[in-house]
Amino acid sequence: MGRTPGCNTDGLKKGAWTADEDQKLIAYIQEHGEGGWRTLPQKAGLQRCGKSCRLRWANYLRPDIKRGEFSTEEEQKIIQLHASLGNRWSAIARNLPKRTDNEIKNYWNTHLKKRQAEEGTALVSRKPFGPSSAPPDAIHESSECEPAQPQPTSLRPASASAQLLNKIAAKLAPSTCLETLKTSQSLQTLSTEADKEVVDVHIISNTCQSEPPPSLAVRSPDMPRPVSTSARILNKMAGRLTTHLHCLDTLKSILSGSSDNHNFMHRSPSASSLSETASDMSRSISTSNGGINDQMPTHNHLSPLIDSFDLDLLEDWNGVSDCGVSSSSLGDTYNGWESPVSPLNNNNNNNNNALTFSGCESMGTCSGEVKDAMTTETTYESEMTFGYQDASDQYAQYFTDGFSNFFIGDSHVVSACSGDSHEGKVFEEDTYSWNNGHLFENYQPLDSHIF
DNA sequence: AACCCCCGCAACCGCCGCACC
DNA sequence: TGGTGCGGCGGTTGCGGGGGT
């Protein structure tokens, strides 16, 4: 099996490895360890190039390689990780112990991709993700990765959170990050009203569960509606903002003063409203946090924040969970790992301006410049690899714009639409009634917030 | 039994990033 | 700062096996 030994340049052998060659390679590495691939062949008495030796070892001979059929759990994990990470096989492999990137890649190409494509054909129609048009091939590509979804039987209002996410998506387009978002989530087109393009974003699988979802493909009607990704994202934003109480009050005041009916979700905020909101927020934060941000920015924060949005950060953020974007709560578990106590609740934590990944979210690499979410001040620069074991790493995120598209109440839930759920609670059609004064009256606020 | 075709997968290829000088 | 070497990664190739006719 394998390629033909078609080239013997420099006397180097190519093609399938013999048992004798394998033994030589194993013996050498057992004695000298891995590395030094360039000189290894000569030292080991192999007529191979170093690259070939490394590949043979990494993909086949390594003792900690698990071969054979993929379990259902492994399949699901590959699907989920691929939705988040794309074809980053090495990154996927790092989350599948004893499986090599090559094996996963092959398995995807020969099994899962085909299956995904078949299931993807069940999607009858779909709007592009966000106002910006993605390339047609990109859309097609994403459909290959998307599981089939039952189409909504009737149009329902797009959630406010989805509108915000649309803005984020538009900002990211046509970056690879957007592609990541597209492939990581199932898109349901929910409204085609003439004067607005809205796309609600929902994940199919629940997130941060102790057990992987049974299937990404089909959700039976009697299963609870999955947690809205958009709501989760916005939850995080709200959780971030709850550290700035004045800011919350300002927002609440602004928002409540400009909304008087149940259609608040459909209204787009005026630019001036957003600007005022941002300014008020920055003032509030500046004056209420005891010098966290000594330098008060004099401009509207929103644009520069968005401009400085680190795409890699979001991409990595997508990649850190099993479904792309998610949140975790205290005690949530994923693959046996449990979220630790939130550093946000830790009085000794001085870095109040940083958001914190915890528990199941912490898996991946965040690199580049990390800035404060509200002031754009750089809090630190470096690459940090955070794994489960580094669950308390600080991690700043930027989510701005569209503030009046989500709603901040006493709880951390900032937006909900019919069927949205949070902490296992599914919102009914009208639970977000604005005029009630309590945004989510059926919602039980969290005691603490974990980012 | 012979032939054909499709598929799985090991291995190769080319590119990229990083380290070093 | 640019050049070079090396390791790593993702895409692609094509042999060999198995199933169908």
| Angstrom distance, A178 CA to B11 C1' | 33
Nucleotide nearest to A90 (CA to C1'): C9
Cα separation of A5 and A14, whole Å?
Answer: 4
Q: Is any atom of strand B within 7 angstroms of residue A433's beta carbon?
A: no
Per the listing, tokens 């033909």 go with: A4
| Angstrom distance, A315 CA to C4 C1' | 32
Cα separation of A161 and A355, whole Å?
Answer: 19
Cα separation of A371 and A443, whole Å?
Answer: 32
Q: Which tokens in the block code for residue A226?
A: 């999955």
> CA distances (Å), A273 to each of A251, A260, A270, A300, in order?
10, 16, 5, 11
Cα separation of A320 and A335, whole Å?
Answer: 13
Count the alpha carbons within 13 Å of A216 in the hemisphere toward its beta carbon.
31
Q: Which tokens in the block code for residue A80?
A: 């989920």
**Which bases of chain B come closer than 7 Å to a protein CB?**
7-14
Cα separation of A328 and A360, whole Å?
Answer: 7
- Per-residue pLDDT at A261: 26
User: In A188-270, which ranges are continuous DSSP H helix?
Assistant: 229-241, 245-256
List of domains in chain A: 9-61 (1.10.10.60), 72-119 (1.10.10.60), 122-451 (no CATH)
Residue A169: exposed, middle, or buried by beta-carbon count in 10 A (0-12, 13-18, 19+)? buried
Q: How much is the CA Rg of chain A, to the nearest whole Å?
A: 25
- Per-residue pLDDT at A120: 55
Q: Is any atom of strand C within 7 angstroms of residue A5's beta carbon?
A: no
Q: Is any atom of strand B within 7 angstroms of residue A5's beta carbon?
A: yes
- Per-residue pLDDT at A442: 34
Q: Which tokens in the block code for residue A1?
A: 């099996």
| Angstrom distance, A185 CA to C5 C1' | 41
Q: Tell me the average pLDDT of chain A.
A: 43
Report the candidate in A241, A398, A394 with the shortest Cα–Cα distance to residue A310: A398
Q: Is any atom of strand C within 7 angstroms of residue A29's beta carbon?
A: no
A366 — phi, psi (to 5°)?
-115, 120
List, in order, residues 6 or more apart from A167 with CB less than 8 Å away: A130, A401, A402, A405
Residues A22-50 have pLDDT tens digits of: 888 888 888 888 878 888 888 888 888 88
Report the candidate in A334, A375, A376, A377 with the shortest Cα–Cα distance to residue A357: A334
Question: Is A368:A381 a contact under the CB 8 Å cutoff?
Answer: yes
Per the listing, tokens 């990944």 go with: A357
Residue A316 corresponds to which amino acid? D
Neighbours of A450 (CB within 10 A): 26
Count the alpha carbons within 13 Å of A203 in the hemisphere toward its beta carbon.
29
Q: Is any atom of strand B within 7 angstroms of residue A7's beta carbon?
A: yes
Instruction: Name the DSSP class of A152.
Output: P
List, in order, residues 6 or more apart from A18 with CB less than 8 Å away: none
Neighbours of A215 (CB within 10 A): 16
Q: Is any atom of strand C within 7 angstroms of residue A35's beta carbon?
A: yes
Q: Is any atom of strand B within 7 angstroms of residue A368's beta carbon?
A: no
| Angstrom distance, A38 CA to C5 C1' | 10
Instruction: Name the DSSP class of A411.
Output: S
What is the DSSP code string of A138-185? HHHHHHHHPPP-PPPSS--PPPHHHHHHHHHHHHHTTSHHHHHHHHHS
Give the length of chain A.
451
Residues of A (59-98) placing their beta carbon closer than 7 angstroms to any atom of strand C are: 87-91
| Angstrom distance, A139 CA to C11 C1' | 20
- Cα A283 to its chain centre, rounded Å, is 31
> CA distances (Å), A237 to each of A25, A353, A450, in order?
52, 12, 11
Residues of chain A with pLDDT under 70: 1-11, 116-451
Q: What is the 3-state secondary structure (H, E, C) of A294-360?
A: CCCCCCCCHHHHHHCCCHHHHHHHHHCCCCCCCCCCCCCEECCEECCCCHHHCCCCCCCCCCECCHH
Protein residue with the closest CA to the C1' atom of nucleotide B7: A110
List, in order, residues 6 or more apart from A393 with CB less than 8 Å away: A356, A357, A362, A384, A386
Residues A183-200 have pLDDT tens digits of: 333 222 222 222 222 222
Question: Is A325:A317 a contact under the CB 8 Å cutoff?
Answer: yes
Nucleotide nearest to A87 (CA to C1'): C10
